[in-house]
């Protein structure tokens, strides 16, 4: 049996028993069947205080500048200490809910006795009388409920539930000081309009904080607690009128208790209700940056770093109360969104998606797509939205992805350079190729395709000599199929894996002869992170959205996860070749005004198109394909945005999006140069017939010029010579 220690808590039990025994002189109390002796023992053999699970709160996502861009929650609540609740709010809630709160020991004997007698005679609950501590108990039991049945039992209008509530209330009074009980009550109570706790209610009702509530605002919130659904101001004027009546009642009650003057109460009652329903959006669909939000949310639910089991991670998400600092750059995000929006409309069935990743850290700086996120996010004028995280893989809410096309040739290029190939080195290529032999996967199995026939894409030529540079700049399919055969398919696959390449759907990479042509479906985040490794001189860092998590358990920094996937000099050599894509290759004529390297990707049959590129400061990958299915709806004869495309290639749409977004994302940032390659190791290669082929191409190009242009070309010999000297110096820098 519990020892009675003070009148403040369990010492009240004796008084309760005496009062009840005197009041209930009959053996039984109405239909309740409770004897005075049984009732007295009920209040002496007390259980432990009810178990208190952490309250569900709001989790907020911050960008790199500390601004909230998304929040999600099961209950819109932000816990605050009592010191951050305005004194007027504390007084108002005590006045209307439990005026003798600081005098009794958890059980308001007068009010409870009156209610018990009335309820016992009625055979059920007809009258209130609960103290704040009892109300806290009820809220705790509801919050702890694991099912709808448990919640119903916690709210049941029965004497049995009331007695249990009283017993727990006395136990809580033994455990906590009065101010601690009041603090817990203010944080757990529901105020209506989706606001749980006084801080969320202050923000929702008045767009302020609990610490800044005025007298009339405090009285309004205190009046809402008793019947939060019938006084919910978001439901219309009738509900607001009921809320105003409750507010005035609170003000009168405060004046009657001497907490405020009659004049203050009168002035408060004359004031307008002043409701300013501030929106409290929840979920990624209502976020300013929904794709990034979804990536973070899925990371929290799937990454073992945030919990050992799915249930543990899910529980952490449901409880919320976390502040998550992310790597999102608003500047880069706006740049990506604007570049996409200027060329692809939201109602187009063709979709563009882009991810930006920082070399050397893996920080995801932006994730954008042409489709608006949600089932119907912008009305019929904007077309249907999507619930797929288009820039991400399936593990982060994305879909199947699109084949990455010729962007995969960089992995074959890196493998060749690692094996000792040199700039200028290459071989003669035919006009077509049958991959009938020489290809083995990483299990040693032959994966030849004797029934297939590979051609170069239009504009690549019918064959001829090609070096590492020209084969890359012109994106020659057959050259890269042959190079992959020479360096080994498995070695190329290993290079790709070392650079974080995994399929968007999470299945194993397809180790087939056309691996180098990008037959695996990818997502922009994964491709951007792989290309970022070249910008970081071979240092691959896993894509990282979450930098730091803060909560009740403290603050936890999430360090980058990086490893040297390629030798630095090999990465420098890859960059040297890829820089020529802008100067002499498929992206010729397109530039971001600073050193950059990249690779276009156009898939067989124009099913999708890509561009991936980087500077030492930022990498990005852009994909374009039809959301209805890339094979059924190839990118030929299509109107996208305001332009018509006979066929969409990597340089015709993804490339310009990349250029515009990178220009804006890096604007006003000093340009960083690449490291010049080790020419003693990589220079000096030779491809028989290549010099003659290039000379013939230049001559043919001159012959196609109009006569006047041809004369100016001949007269401009010295100008061309000077230009070549300047270009050579520029490349050396």
Q: How far apart are CA 616 and CA 680, in angstroms?
A: 23
- Has residue 42 got a pLDDT over 90? no
Asked if the structure places residue 363 within a domain, the reply is no
- The 8-class DSSP code of residue 500 comes to T
Greater confidence (8 vs 334) lies with 334
Q: What is the pLDDT of residue 689?
A: 83
Q: What is the mean pLDDT of residues 478-494?
A: 97
Q: What is the pLDDT of residue 372?
A: 92
Asked if the structure places residue 446 within a domain, the reply is no
- Three-class DSSP labels, 316-367: HHHHCCCEEEECCCHHHHHHHHHHHHCCCCCCCCEEEEEEEECCCCCEEEEE
Number of neighbouring beta carbons within 10 Å of residue 272: 7
Residue 213, Cβ density class (10 Å: 0-12 exposed, 13-18 middle, ≥19 buried): buried
Q: What is the pLDDT of residue 335?
A: 98
Q: What is the pLDDT of residue 402?
A: 96
| pLDDT confidence band for 50 (50 / 70 / 90) | confident
Q: What is the pLDDT of residue 724?
A: 55
Predicted confidence (pLDDT) per residue in 106-158, tens digit: 565 555 555 555 555 544 433 345 899 999 999 998 888 777 777 777 777 77
Beta bridge partners of 386: 373
Give the DSSP letter string of 516-572: GGT-SEE-HHHHHHHHHHHHTTTEEE--B-EEEEEETTEEEE----EEE-S-HHHHH
For residues 404 and 601, the answer to whether their CB atoms sit within 8 Å is: yes
Q: Tell me whether strands 521-522 and 402-403 are parallel, antiparallel or unpaired.
A: antiparallel
| pLDDT confidence band for 26 (50 / 70 / 90) | very low
Q: What angle do CA 456, 460, 465 make, to 5 degrees?
A: 95
Greater confidence (377 vs 352) lies with 352
| pLDDT confidence band for 619 (50 / 70 / 90) | very high
**Among 240, 270, 300, residue at a domain's last position:** 270
Flag the least confident range among 44-53, 82-91, 101-110, 367-376. 101-110
- Has residue 331 got a pLDDT over 80? yes
- The 8-class DSSP code of residue 225 comes to S
Q: What is the pLDDT of residue 261?
A: 97
The answer for 338, left when phi > 0, alpha when psi is -120 to 50, beta otherwise, is: alpha
Structural tokens at position 2:
């519990």
Q: Tell me whether strands 59-62 and 323-326 are parallel, antiparallel or unpaired.
A: parallel
Predicted confidence (pLDDT) per residue in 576-590, tens digit: 999 999 999 999 999
- Has residue 278 got a pLDDT over 70? yes
| Total number of domains constituting the chain | 2
Tell me the range of 11-20, 109-118, 339-348, 367-376 where mean pLDDT is highest: 339-348
Beta bridge partners of 355: 367, 621
For residues 617 and 669, the answer to whether their CB atoms sit within 8 Å is: yes
Beta bridge partners of 348: none
Q: What is the pLDDT of residue 32?
A: 43
Give the DSSP letter string of 106-126: S--HHHHHHHHHHHHHHTS--
Task: Encode 145-176: b = buried (16+ Cβ within 10 Å), e = exposed.
Answer: eeeeeeeebbeeeebebbbbbbbbbbbbbbeb
Q: What is the pLDDT of residue 726?
A: 52
CATH code: domain of residue 266: 1.10.3810.10
Q: What is the pLDDT of residue 691?
A: 84
Mean pLDDT of the chain: 87
**Among 243, 270, 297, residue at a domain's last position:** 270
| pLDDT confidence band for 720 (50 / 70 / 90) | low
Number of neighbouring beta carbons within 10 Å of residue 286: 17
C-beta pairs of 18-23 under 8 Å, 24+ apart in sequence: 19/109, 19/113, 20/113, 20/116, 23/113, 23/117
- Has residue 394 got a pLDDT over 80? yes
Q: What is the pLDDT of residue 695?
A: 83
Q: How far apart are CA 529 and CA 541, in angstroms?
A: 7
Range of the domain at 725: 690-732
Asked if the structure places residue 229 within a domain, the reply is yes
Asked if the structure places residue 130 within a domain, the reply is yes
**Among 270, 301, 331, residue at a domain's last position:** 270
Residue where the block lists tokens 């893989």? 393
Asked if the structure places residue 276 within a domain, the reply is no
Please tell me the number of Cα atoms within 13 Å of 519 on its side-chain side.
Answer: 13
Asked if the structure places residue 176 within a domain, the reply is yes
| pLDDT confidence band for 374 (50 / 70 / 90) | confident
Structural tokens at position 562:
């990086």
Q: What is the mean pLDDT of residues 373-400?
A: 79
Predicted confidence (pLDDT) per residue in 422-443, tens digit: 999 999 999 889 998 999 999 9
Is residue 671 helix, strand or coil? coil
C-beta pairs of 602-605 under 8 Å, 24+ apart in sequence: 602/405, 602/406, 602/457, 602/475, 602/648, 602/649, 602/650, 603/402, 603/403, 603/405, 603/518, 603/630, 604/517, 605/631, 605/634
Closest CA to 217 of 158, 170, 157, 268: 268
Tell me the range of 30-44, 118-132, 601-615 where mean pLDDT is highest: 601-615
- Has residue 484 got a pLDDT over 60? yes
Q: What is the pLDDT of residue 458?
A: 59
Asked if the structure places residue 627 within a domain, the reply is no
- Has residue 18 got a pLDDT over 80? no
Q: What is the mean pLDDT of residues 707-726?
A: 57
Asked if the structure places residue 484 within a domain, the reply is no
């Amino acid at each position: 049996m519990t020892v009675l220690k003070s009148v403040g808590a369990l010492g009240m039990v004796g008084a309760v028993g005496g009062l009840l025994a005197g009041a209930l002189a009959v053996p039984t109390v109405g239909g309740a069947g409770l004897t005075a002796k049984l009732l007295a023992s009920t209040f002496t053999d007390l259980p432990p205080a009810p178990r208190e699970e952490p309250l569900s709160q709001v989790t907020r996502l911050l960008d790199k500048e500390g601004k909230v861009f998304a929040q999600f929650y099961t209950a819109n609540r932000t816990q605050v200490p009592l010191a951050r609740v305005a004194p007027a709010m504390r007084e108002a809630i005590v006045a209307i809910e439990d005026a003798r709160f600081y005098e009794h020991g958890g059980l308001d004997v007068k009010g409870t006795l009156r209610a018990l007698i009335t309820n016992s005679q009625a055979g059920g609950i007809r009258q209130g009388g609960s103290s704040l501590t009892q109300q806290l108990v009820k809220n705790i039991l509801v919050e702890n409920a694991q099912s709808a049945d448990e919640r119903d039992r916690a709210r049941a209008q029965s004497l049995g539930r009331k007695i249990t509530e009283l017993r727990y209330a006395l136990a809580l009074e033994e455990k906590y000081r009065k101010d601690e009980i009041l603090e817990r009550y203010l944080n757990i109570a529901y105020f209506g309009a989706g606001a749980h706790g006084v801080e969320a209610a202050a923000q929702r009702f008045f767009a302020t904080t609990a610490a800044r509530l005025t007298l009339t605002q405090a009285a309004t919130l205190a009046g809402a607690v008793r019947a939060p659904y019938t006084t919910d101001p978001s439901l219309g004027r009738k509900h607001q009128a009921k809320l105003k009546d409750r507010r005035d009642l609170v003000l009168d009650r405060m004046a009657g208790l001497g907490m405020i003057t009659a004049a203050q109460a009168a002035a408060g009652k004359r004031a307008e209700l002043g409701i300013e329903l501030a929106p409290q959006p929840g979920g990624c669909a209502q976020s300013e940056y929904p794709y990034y939000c979804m990536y973070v949310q899925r990371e929290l639910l799937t990454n073992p770093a945030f919990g050992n089991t799915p249930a543990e991670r899910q529980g952490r998400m449901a409880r919320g109360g976390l502040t998550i600092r992310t790597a999102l750059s608003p500047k880069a995000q706006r740049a990506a969104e604007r570049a996409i929006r200027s060329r692809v409309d939201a109602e187009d069935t063709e979709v563009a998606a882009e991810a930006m990743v920082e070399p050397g850290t893996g920080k995801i700086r932006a994730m954008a797509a042409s489709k608006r996120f949600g089932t119907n996010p912008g009305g019929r004028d904007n077309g249907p939205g999507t619930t797929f995280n288009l820039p991400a893989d399936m593990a982060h809410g994305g879909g199947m992805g699109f084949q990455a096309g010729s962007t995969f040739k960089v992995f074959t290029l890196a493998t060749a350079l690692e094996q000792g190939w040199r700039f200028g080195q290459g071989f003669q290529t035919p006009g077509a190729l049958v991959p009938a032999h020489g290809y083995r996967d990483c299990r040693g199995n032959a994966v030849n395709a004797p029934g297939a026939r590979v051609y170069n894409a239009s504009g690549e030529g019918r064959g001829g000599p090609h070096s590492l540079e020209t084969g890359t700049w012109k994106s020659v399919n057959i050259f890269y199929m042959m190079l992959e055969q020479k360096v080994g398919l498995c070695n190329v696959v290993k290079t790709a894996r070392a650079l974080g390449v995994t399929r968007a759907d999470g299945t194993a990479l397809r180790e087939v002869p056309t691996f180098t042509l990008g037959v695996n479906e990818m997502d922009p985040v994964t491709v951007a992170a792989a290309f970022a490794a070249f910008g970081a001189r071979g240092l691959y860092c896993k894509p990282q959205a979450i930098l730091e998590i803060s909560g009740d358990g403290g603050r936890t920094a999430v360090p980058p996860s990086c490893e040297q996937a390629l030798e630095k000099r090999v990465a420098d050599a890859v960059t040297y070749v890829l820089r020529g894509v802008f100067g002499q290759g498929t992206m010729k004529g397109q530039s971001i005004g600073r050193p950059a390297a990249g690779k276009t990707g156009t898939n067989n049959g124009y099913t999708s198109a890509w561009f991936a590129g980087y500077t030492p400061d930022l990498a990005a990958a852009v994909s374009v394909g039809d959301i209805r299915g890339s094979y059924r709806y190839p990118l030929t004869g299509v109107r996208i945005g305001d332009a018509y495309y006979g066929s969409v290639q990597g340089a015709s749409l993804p490339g310009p999006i990349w250029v515009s977004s990178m220009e804006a994302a890096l604007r006003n940032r000093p340009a960083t140069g690449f490291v010049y390659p080790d020419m003693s190791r990589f220079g000096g290669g030779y491809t028989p017939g290549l010099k003659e082929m290039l000379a013939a191409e230049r001559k043919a190009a001159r012959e196609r010029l109009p006569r006047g242009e041809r004369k100016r070309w001949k007269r401009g010999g010295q100008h061309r010579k000077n230009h070549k000297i300047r270009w050579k110096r520029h490349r050396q820098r």
